[in-house]
Chain A
Amino acid sequence: MKLIIKNGRVIDPANGLDGLHDVLIDKGKIAAVAKPGGLSGEESGAKILEADGKVVAPGFVDMHVHFREPGYEYKETIQSGCESAAAGGFTTVAVMPNTDPINDNRSVTELIQNVAQAKGAVNVLVIGAITTGLKGTKLAEMTDMREAGAIAFSDDGKPVMDSEMMRRAFEYSRLFDVPLIQHSEILELTSGGCMNEGAVSTELGLKGMPTEAEDIMVYRDIALLERTGGRLHVAHISSAGAVDLVRMAKAKGLPVTCEAAPHHFTLTDEAVRGFDTNAKMSPPLRALKDVHAIKEGLKDSTIDIIATDHAPHDVVGKEVEFDKACFGIIGLETALPLTLRLVDDKTITLRQAVEKLTSRPAEIFNLDCGSLSVGANADAVIFDPEAEYVFDMSHIKSKSKNSPFLGWKMKGKILHTLVRGKTVFKAEI
């Protein structure tokens, strides 16, 4: 069945495209992209999707999500996570290995891929563990997982603390040349902490997590990498110091990339006043100067990509005292409107925003997605950058509802998400 998306503003950074175009999809692939009206010969028998006044882009790619299956299906399953992704315009997501059992071997990697194949509405990529059990003491069978399909490795949530271990992991990773993703946090400096250390933590009497905990580990990894080779991808960068360090490493030509999460460029630690446990995540919401540094990093491309760190938790994990609450928030369904705020305040252009959500992650992780190239899988999203609405519980497709953005007035709405030409999400209008 043929499908034509007509009259939309097509933004496809991988092909340097930004303008009014029609897109022809046939047999699940992009068959042609042409000036408006240029596909009129194909219209008979084709389904038409009118996108006048809307943006048509490659489906978004999120390199950092937690889908909790196997092990914590009460928070999220691969199926519910994929529905949430589709609703947020994401057609490809990469799941972190901190499941139960932990994804530190081929059998778990394969299990996740099999469940995703059977039940997932979007493409699910698998990130394997760097060390067995995320314990930081023994290398996991990374080559085996790589062969089974893993696209990167990370001990996410638990940084690789031992410097010798990290050095060897970088060296070992040269066997399969994919990035190691680090959650950069020196744990000795953050023990017992539950928010950013600063004026707000001082006033609230909550134990702080200083930015230096992040800066020091980012520097350590860059220093190791310079010796060992391999590739480093810094997860959810949140401090001004870490952004500077990545900028410096890039200037030196080192293979270092990084991502920022929408909450880190939208909120500051002021959001913790009132003790909303949905303002608790790791790394924590930082000070205004850090938010400015992240925006600057997004602007000058020090920060390569936007990734949500979608971290579903149920009420048992969140409806408790702040210091006892789980870290993390859901993010897939608010990523677009929060990113578009950066376009509105002129931090980045709409094209840059799309690039950081599509072609750039595909490039870094060497993925076969993130473009509307002819012959590519027809993974695409149609969104209205101007549509306004209030984000509330009823929107949320994720199994968990832990978002600090409930009740926020949002601008920018996903209308239609396609995976291999098939509709996986359509907004109710």
Chain B
Amino acid sequence: MSLKGKDILGMRDLTEEEIVDILDSADSFKEISEREIKKVPALRGRTIINLFLEPSTRTRTSFEIAGKRLSADVINISGSGSSLAKGETLMDTARNLEAMRPDILVLRHSGPGAPHMIAKLLKSSVINAGDGAHEHPSQALLDLLTIRQNKKELKGLKVAIVGDISHSRVARSNILAMNTLGMKVTVVGPPTMIPVEIEKLGVSVEYNLERAIRDVDVILMLRIQLERQESLLFSSLREYSNLYGLTSEKLKKAPSDVLIIHPGPVNRGVEISPDVMDGPHSLILDQVTNGVAVRMALMYLLLGANLETNN
């Protein structure tokens, strides 16, 4: 089993079969993290560089742990500590890193398309760990894995994605992946946070949260970025929270077996109330656990093809 492409840039590029293969592999890798000795030699002698040019705790740590549990050598580079801070262009930084012969470059960047440009330039595999408001494929995959572990089948499931859709790479990657898998997506938020012509991506739009969650299987809550208030997208946190905050009161409108996921970090009490976050529907910490397994699967599958041909 391996992936067709050299890189993982977005859910748009992955077929249904590839997504299922990744989820299946992730399911089997999950067990490694439950062992006392959490390490297998699969990627021994391989080098993975995490180039994170935007703040990240969860995703960077998750990629690092995933690489280490597969015995790869993992190097972390952050924006402020890199030569980009000295004025080097991203392309030159990438060329220089490539000259040290890494196998995978994991890139987090604020600019949509940045990993795509790098991927064209490099022979190494590139994993997009989030490019601006564009895509965040490993997040969508870990969301799908978490949902699949709790529902029999993904096909046909109804999902509400709630929050700032305009600025969310998590929303875009999930929409694309869920469409590929035959799931039905509704995006929910104030009109200021719903980008134009989003219907063309194959989703429906709903402005009322309670109406939107009436018959869904999954609610994906997005983080509200507090600084967006200044860019005229909402009036006040209080009003946003009243309209789109997921409280136990609003949750009564949803089916009793609804799943709640959130990519983190959570603004407790803003987009989701503390009791719902810690309640029985919430799978937020499972997502984090699954993140490691999904990233192990991605690394393994990207390099797996080479392993087979080399041996």
Contacts and interface: CB of A to CB of B under 8 A. Distances in A.
B135 A205 contact: yes
A369 to B, nearest CB: 42
A208 interface: yes
Interface in B90-141: 90-91, 109-114, 116-117, 131-135
A387 interface: no
Given A205-B132, A321-B111, A321-B114, 20 more contacts: A197-B196, A199-B201, A202-B195, A202-B200, A203-B172, A205-B112, A205-B131, A205-B134, A205-B172, A206-B132, A206-B133, A206-B134, A208-B196, A275-B112, A275-B113, A275-B116, A321-B113, A321-B117, A322-B111, A323-B110
Given A320-B89, A321-B90, A202 B197 contact: yes
A320 B112 CA distance: 11
Interface string A272-290: 0011000000000000000
B195 A324 contact: no
A199 B200 contact: yes
B181 to A, nearest CB: 18
Interface in A138-169: none
Contact of B111 (A197, A199, A324): A324
B295 interface: no
B91 A320 contact: yes
B40 interface: no
A322 B114 CA distance: 7
Interface in A200-234: 201-206, 208, 210
Contacts of B116: 274-275
Interface in A89-119: none
B85 to A, nearest CB: 15
Contact of B112 (A197, A204, A316, A319): A204
Contacts of B135: 205
Contacts, number: 65
Interface residues of B, number: 25
Contact of A198 (B90, B117, B133, B196): B196
B195 A201 contact: yes
A206 B135 CA distance: 11
B196 A203 contact: no
B83 to A, nearest CB: 15
Interface string A314-352: 001001111110000000000000000000000000000
Contact of A319 (B91, B167, B201): B91
Contacts of A324: 111
B169 interface: yes
B112 A323 contact: yes
7 tightest Cβ-Cβ pairs between the two chains A and B: A275-B113, A205-B133, A321-B111, A205-B134, A199-B197, A202-B195, A199-B200
Interface residues of A, number: 20
B197 A204 contact: no
B1 interface: no
A275 B114 CA distance: 8
B198 interface: yes
A202 B198 contact: yes
Given A320-B89, A322-B113, A324-B111, A202 B134 contact: no
Contacts of B112: 204-206, 275, 322-323
B111 A319 contact: no
13 contacts: A199-B201, A202-B197, A204-B112, A205-B131, A206-B112, A206-B113, A208-B195, A274-B116, A275-B112, A275-B117, A320-B90, A323-B110, A323-B132
A356 B132 CA distance: 42
A199 B113 CA distance: 16
B111 A323 contact: yes
Contacts of A319: 89, 91
A204 B172 CA distance: 9
A204 B196 CA distance: 12
Contact of A203 (B110, B114, B117, B201): B201
A197 B197 CA distance: 9
Contact of B109 (A203, A204, A321): A321
- For B111, B112, B134, the residue with the greatest tally of chain A CB atoms inside 10 Å of its CB is B112
B90 A204 contact: no
Interface string B158-169: 000000000101
Contacts of A321: 90, 109, 111, 113-114, 117
Contacts of A197: 196
Contact of A202 (B90, B91, B110, B201): B201
Nearest to A322: B113
Contacts of B90: 320-321
Contacts of B172: 203, 205
A316 B89 CA distance: 9
Nearest to B133: A205
Interface string B68-80: 0000000000000
Interface in B251-275: none
A274 B134 CA distance: 12
Contacts of B109: 321
A262 B133 CA distance: 30
Contacts of A203: 172, 200-201
B204 to A, nearest CB: 15
Interface in B197-241: 197-198, 200-201
